[in-house]
Amino acid sequence: MPPTLISPSENDYIIRGVDSNIRADGRGRLDYRQVILETGLITQASGSARCRLGEGTDVLVGVKVEFGAVELDGADEDVAEIKAKRGRVICNVECSPIASQQFAGRGADDFNNELTQMLDRVLNGPQSGLNLEKLCIIPGQHCWIVYIDAIVLDYAGNILDTIFMTTRAALYSTRIPKTIIQERGDGEIEFDILDDVEECERIEGWDKVPVAITLNKIGSRHIVDATPLEELTTEAKLLVTVNKDGKVCGLQKSGGGSIEPSLLIDMVQTGRSLGQSLIQSLDEMLQREENDINLKRAQKERKLGFFAAT
């Protein structure tokens, strides 16, 4: 269960450590814990991924692509026209009671809502990088709706970064069924969704999905990837979401402290450069995993009979 109280001496110990660039577990201020990422775990989902950060934080994301109606808004005519030709993304984050006793029952409601809104703010819109136009089946009528559901299985600090990393990997593994559109002639359009597992397309723009870097202000310095105790010492947190091209896709401050403007800009720059290198290493990990799978498929497996292996 993550600690909710911290003693003043522990607090002081962490602040001094951060100041000297040595944290409690030996890392530097800008070092991440080890990331273990795997995709394609859930057969019923269109895409899925699980990420484990160090020995703690564990997040599972399932992506389900479902057929639905286009968003018809009562807004400005031009905006409504754009929205009619797009697919949609609907996010949801849930902290499972497995992760901590304080998440049992309605305890996690506010926290879930906060995380969902943060995820939604980045993924709903052009800044998500996903090609939403490609998700439209019939303009003005039907489209693909991408449901992204994240479950937090274990909590050991730095939850948002993990959620974003896992979401990105899940979108990488997401396959959208192909649709064949036929025009019936009298203005009616018919479409068919192919059931074949092999006839699937990868979701376009997954590589442009941003990752999040949470910078924690401790004392006069900032650190990334905080452990629960370090999070309790944090005065203010800044969430920087950045994509592969180095564009900042979102900024959000949280916590009860304040940040000086020049330090704020400094943190944004740090977050941006860290984000880009994180994306690079994540992509390498995903590529390696795919290569391993392809290698296994290529090798002819020695087939044993049903009860041959005893």
Partner 1 sequence: MSGDRRRIQGPEVTVAPIIIKSTDREKIQLKDINGQRRDGRNLEDIRPIFLKTGLISQANGSAYIELRRTKIACGVYGPRQTKIPSFSGRGNLNCEIKFTPFSCLKRRQPYRDAQEKELSQLVYEALAPSIRLDLLPKSTIDIYISVLENDGMASCFAAAITCASVAVADAGIEMLDQVAACSASYIDGDIYMDSDLVEEQRESGSLILSYMPSLNEVTHILQSGKVEVSLTTQAIEQCTDACSKIYSVMNHSLLESVKNKIQ
Cβ-based nearer residue to partner 1, 110 or 301: 110
Amino acid at 191: F
| Distance in angstroms (rounded) separating the CA atoms of residues 260 and 154 | 33
Asked if 243 is part of the footprint of partner 1 (rule: CB under 8 A), the reply reads yes
Asked whether the CA dihedral 113, 226, 127, 169 is positive or negative, the reply is negative
Asked if 110 is part of the footprint of partner 1 (rule: CB under 8 A), the reply reads yes
Asked if 214 is part of the footprint of partner 1 (rule: CB under 8 A), the reply reads no
Asked if 185 is part of the footprint of partner 1 (rule: CB under 8 A), the reply reads no
Q: Tokens at residue 46, please?
A: 């269109």
Q: Are 65 and 144 in contact (CB under 8 A)?
A: yes
Amino acid at 24: A
What is the smallest separation between the CB atom of 310 and partner 1, expressed in angstroms?
56
Interacting residue with partner 1 among 23, 250, 274, 289 (CB under 8 A):
250
Asked if 269 is part of the footprint of partner 1 (rule: CB under 8 A), the reply reads yes
Interacting residue with partner 1 among 18, 37, 122, 132 (CB under 8 A):
122
Stated length of the chain: 310
| Distance in angstroms (rounded) separating the CA atoms of residues 256 and 279 | 29
Asked if 75 is part of the footprint of partner 1 (rule: CB under 8 A), the reply reads yes
- What is each CA distance from 196 to 39, 82, 95, 135, in whole angstroms? 21, 31, 34, 18
Interacting residue with partner 1 among 94, 102, 251, 290 (CB under 8 A):
251
Interacting residue with partner 1 among 192, 257, 287, 294 (CB under 8 A):
257
What is the smallest separation between the CB atom of 24 and partner 1, expressed in angstroms?
25
Asked if 234 is part of the footprint of partner 1 (rule: CB under 8 A), the reply reads no
